[in-house]
Structure 1
Amino acid sequence: MTQSYSFGLRTGEGEQHVSARDQHTITTRDRFRLAVQVSGPPQAPALLLLPGQANSHAWWDGLRSDFEPQFRTVTFDYRGTGGSRGELGVLSTASFAADAAEVLDQLGIARAAVYGTSMGGRIAQMLALNFPDRVSALVLGCTTPGGPHSIKRPREVGRSLARLRGREHTQYLFSLFYTPDWTGAARCSKLLGDDTMTPQESAAHLRISASHNAFDRLPEITAATLIVHGDEDLMNPVDNAHLLHERIANSRILICRGGRHGFFEEFAEVVNPEINGFLHDVS
């Protein structure tokens, strides 16, 4: 069943809260060192939060605390972001999902709820497909199944993202994430990319997102799934949410009226309680 909401707005600047968190470094199967962050009650169920393309765990700053009364939240910096730097090699959403499984392993977490947004939603799909026993519930935000059946962003959006540079590019990206009612400034957003990344690292992340294709395998997902999306998302059109809903059995869908690609932050006061309620219901 599709649910649709018109949500109240956060004001943006001055309201973010960054939770105190434990910092870890793990070494993966191929000797890559990943920076990992954990916060929330140590004995609570785990919630793995997966950020978008070309972003570190900072994507979740100001948001993860909404989940911490109920969950022990876990993030990690993708290869090429934040504190996870080194030779990147061949990467994919499946390899990042394998990294996520190793993070859970080394933290001693057998199963976790998983919430991924944008590219993080692509990685979450692969985690649920390739490591089904590790995923207790799944939330897919502003994401896509990928492949030829997915709905591409408008051509002009892609052209503008490729053509614009500097401040113009930042402001255009900001307009794709937030509505004009959002009072925060682009410089304060945690969603517009990790500016410590090299061009090579950013390009690698772009290839990871672009090559994702889970469409044929989505019916294999057995975890209870909630799909959330904004209906004015030009970065990743909302029709992709409906594709995911059709392909994943017994999934639920929640559409945010007026939401753009960063709807999960702009409308967090209503979105996050809905997600918490879903995770409570299926746990």
Structure 2
Amino acid sequence: MGLPDAVTSMDTTGRHATAPDGARIGFDVEGDGEPLVLLAGQANSRHWWDPVRDDFSAAYTTIAIDTLGTGTSDTGEHAEWGTRRFARDVVAVLDELGIARAHVYGTSMGGRVAQWVAADAPDRVGALVLGCTTGGGAGAVPADPDVLRPLAGDPDGARRTLMDLMAGPHFQWSHPASLSSVLGDDTMTPRARREHRRASERHDAWDVLPDVTAPTLVLHGTADAFAPPGNGRLLADRIPGATLHLFEGARHAYFLERRADASAVVQDFLAAHPLCGDPRR
């Protein structure tokens, strides 16, 4: 299945799309095959995906996006913020690339954004994968405040807490480089960090989830204290026909801790739901 030359050529240096409000949204393209959008977690750039991206770029044209305020995207100093807005930015990237439909894989806040892409632009989404995330609103299972409180403390303690929330001690010791990719984008402005946190906290797609038509896979670690696993169960129950896959003992970054299994589950799911027709516009 062919894609425009601008999409199939590897582009690790990055490009930009223009959002409806004029903000520049950074992204890059790797691989070959059906398009697969990768959406990162809160306060992280597209480098969130670096440790596992090769698992997908061998079979898919992966499009990793810098959410507004991260990476090479605009800082958003005068922008609207929110997961629904970030979803419109995803559509702007697909428009820039001339892609009519793509698979979408979002984790953490990226999973919140992916829900809105599927709800607001259903014709643009093939298969949908939602990892370590929540539907928000009435479908949110909040984290224990005592677990999150250290994140607002001194930087060293906050980083230590974040590492523990992301992965267990063995993974932290054995894969420090991989773990560092999900600990935040140091180039963000203080305002962008605040707005990302608020966007995650205020996310509420609960009422529209029953209208999602994309084949959906929900993934979650059973030891996720950041986004408790009850969120995954509620999401899978709320989205018609969704499949839930739990990774026993995995924390928030299940896709790193259980990389082989998690990537294989996603690959099998995408292969079972190929895009119908030509993904070009």
TM-score (structure 2 length as normaliser)? 0.90
1:198-237 maps to which residues of 2 (within 5 A)?
A: 198-237=189-228
Q: Secondary structure at the match of 1:85?
A: coil
Higher helix share: 2
Counterpart-to-counterpart distance in 2, 1:171 and 1:210: 22
Q: CA deviation at 1:186?
A: 7.3
Is the 8 Å Cα contact of residues 111 and 132 (structure 2) preserved in structure 1?
yes
1:1-283 maps to which residues of 2 (within 5 A)?
A: 21-41=12-32, 44-86=33-75, 87-162=77-152, 164-182=153-171, 183-185=174-176, 189-283=180-274
Counterpart-to-counterpart distance in 2, 1:224 and 1:97: 18
Identity across matched positions, percent: 42
Q: CA deviation at 1:185?
A: 2.9
Residue deviations 1:112-158, cap 9 Å, x none? 00000000000000000000000000000000001143100012012
Higher relative contact order (CA 8 A, sep 6+): 1
TM-score (structure 1 length as normaliser)? 0.89
Note the residue ranges of structure 1 that are not aligned, 5 or more in a row: 1-18
Counterpart-to-counterpart distance in 2, 1:22 and 1:133: 29
Counterpart-to-counterpart distance in 1, 2:220 and 2:209: 18
Is the 8 Å Cα contact of residues 139 and 231 (structure 2) preserved in structure 1?
no
Q: CA deviation at 1:102?
A: 0.7
Q: Aligned Cα RMSD in Å?
A: 1.5
Q: CA deviation at 1:85?
A: 2.1
Counterpart-to-counterpart distance in 2, 1:104 and 1:78: 14
Q: CA deviation at 1:210?
A: 0.7
Look up the equivalent residue of 1:277 and give its one-letter code. Answer: D
Is the 8 Å Cα contact of residues 170 and 186 (structure 1) preserved in structure 2?
no
Q: CA deviation at 1:161?
A: 1.7
Query: Greater CA deviation, 250-259 or 28-37?
Result: 28-37
Q: CA deviation at 1:267?
A: 0.9
Counterpart-to-counterpart distance in 1, 2:58 and 2:137: 37
Is the 8 Å Cα contact of residues 151 and 159 (structure 2) preserved in structure 1?
no
Note the residue ranges of structure 2 that are not aligned, 5 or more in a row: 1-9, 275-281
Counterpart-to-counterpart distance in 1, 2:232 and 2:115: 13
Q: CA deviation at 1:28?
A: 2.1
The total of aligned residue pairs comes to 262
Look up the equivalent residue of 2:268 and give its one-letter code. Answer: G
Q: Secondary structure at the match of 1:280?
A: helix
Relative distance call for 1:111 and 1:20 in structure 2 (3 A) is closer
Q: Secondary structure at the match of 1:109?
A: coil
Relative distance call for 1:188 and 1:20 in structure 2 (3 A) is farther
Residue deviations 1:76-108, cap 9 Å, x none? 211111111243422111110000001001101
Is the 8 Å Cα contact of residues 163 and 179 (structure 2) preserved in structure 1?
no
Q: CA deviation at 1:188?
A: 5.5
Is the 8 Å Cα contact of residues 35 and 76 (structure 1) preserved in structure 2?
yes
Counterpart-to-counterpart distance in 2, 1:229 and 1:88: 35
Residue deviations 1:225-277, cap 9 Å, x none? 00000000000000000000110111111000000001111111111011000
Is the 8 Å Cα contact of residues 39 and 110 (structure 2) preserved in structure 1?
yes
Counterpart-to-counterpart distance in 2, 1:27 and 1:186: 32
Q: Secondary structure at the match of 1:208?
A: helix
